[in-house]
Amino acid sequence: MNPKDGPHDSTHEAWIAELIAGERSTNDPSVSERLRECATCRADFEALRSLGAALDADADFDARVIEQAEKGDIAPRDRAAFERAREAQLSTAVGAPSPSANSSATPHLRLVWVRVAVVAALVLIGVWFKRPSTGVSPLTDGQLSGEYVLRPCGVIDGANTFVIEGELSKGWKYSFRVCPIDDGGNMLEPILRSPAWLSTPRWELDAAQAGALPKRFRWFVDIQDSRQNLVKTLTCDVELRSR
């Protein structure tokens, strides 16, 4: 087939594609001849060549970013955001935590976890013996400080009730959990969870649960829409001053 007279069908398209993608060289004499003699091929090539070059340049940009990403550190704030999202999704997992997850934990992390569990148990025992003889007494030492990590974020109207305020849609459900923060600022595994997806943005702790709250903790609220999609996870860091 003489290219300059031939139909500009799929064969032509494949030929131009090879040229734009660099799989056929314009230095090839047959290519330069065809471009010289066929106005359609020439126009097509010219029209798409700059787009091909722009895509290559954009791909180079991506390659540079990926190289930087591989070398770069994660900002603490970004790491916290990642952990929040991770926690939120894993809370919806089917089945118990995997053995691999436990075995991959470092001995140091396991030691910290054991210590936290022991401290939590001691606090619980202490609260049990100190409890008033009648009724459930909410803690009165819930003077809160700390940073709202996300906006809009909830407020805690006492150290025994977690409430979210904001633009909340009807039909949303809420799941709460509390993760201690150790002295090094590391967030640990959750020690308290709300029973299930709650239909109101409020979770009230009983006295034992309130007593188990550590000095510093981060509380999470996962919000799920009516189709069981995760809408957002809100968090708030809290420090109980009297602990």
Partner 1 sequence: MAVGATQSIDPYAADLALVRAACARERPAMESLFERLQCVPRIIGALNRSLGTPLDPEEQSDLVQDVLIVLWKKLEEYQGEARIETYAYRVCRFELLNAARKKRRRRILDGGDVEESGRAVDSSDSGQILIADTITRGLARLDRDESTIVRLKHYDSLKFDEIATRLGLSANTVKTRYYRALNRLKTLLTEAGEEGSA
Residue 41 Cβ, how far from partner 1 at the closest point, in Å?
12
Q: Based on CB atoms, which residue is closest to partner 1, 31 or 240? A: 31
C-alpha pair distances (Å), 27 with each of 11, 34, 142: 20, 12, 78
Binding site for partner 1 (CB under 8 A): 10, 13-14, 16-18, 20-21, 23, 47-48, 51-52, 54-59, 61-62, 64-66, 68-70, 72, 74-75, 77-82, 84-86, 89-90, 92-98, 100-101, 150, 229-230, 232-233
Question: Rounded to whole angstroms, how far apart are CA atoms 185 and 76?
Answer: 11
Q: Least CB distance from residue 74 to partner 1, whole Å?
A: 5
Cα distances from 219 to residues 17, 94, 113, in angstroms, run 55, 22, 17
235: Cβ–Cβ under 8 A, 6 or more apart, which residues?
Answer: 80, 84, 149, 150, 153, 218, 219, 220, 221
Compare residues 23 and 167 and give the one whose CB is closer to partner 1.
23
Nearer to partner 1, 134 or 229 (CB): 229
Q: How far apart are CA 54 and CA 120, in angstroms?
A: 59
Q: What does residue 34 show for φ and ψ, rounded to 5 degrees?
A: -65, -40
By C-beta, is 119 or 230 nearer to partner 1? 230
- Identify which of residues 178 and 234 has a Cβ nearer to partner 1 in the complex: 234
Minimum CB separation of residue 203 from partner 1 in Å reads 21
- For the CB of residue 129, give the shortest distance to partner 1 in the complex, in Å: 37
Of 130, 114, 128, give the one whose Cα is nearest residue 191.
Answer: 114
The CB-side HSE value for 20 (13 A sphere, CA atoms) comes to 22
Exposure string over 109-147, b if 16+ CB within 10 A, otherwise e? eeebbeebeeebeebeeebeeeeeeeeeebbeebeeeee
- State the minimum distance, in angstroms, from the CB of residue 202 to partner 1: 23
Supply the minimum distance, in Å, between the C-beta of residue 72 and partner 1: 5
* For partner 1, the closer CB: 72 or 184: 72
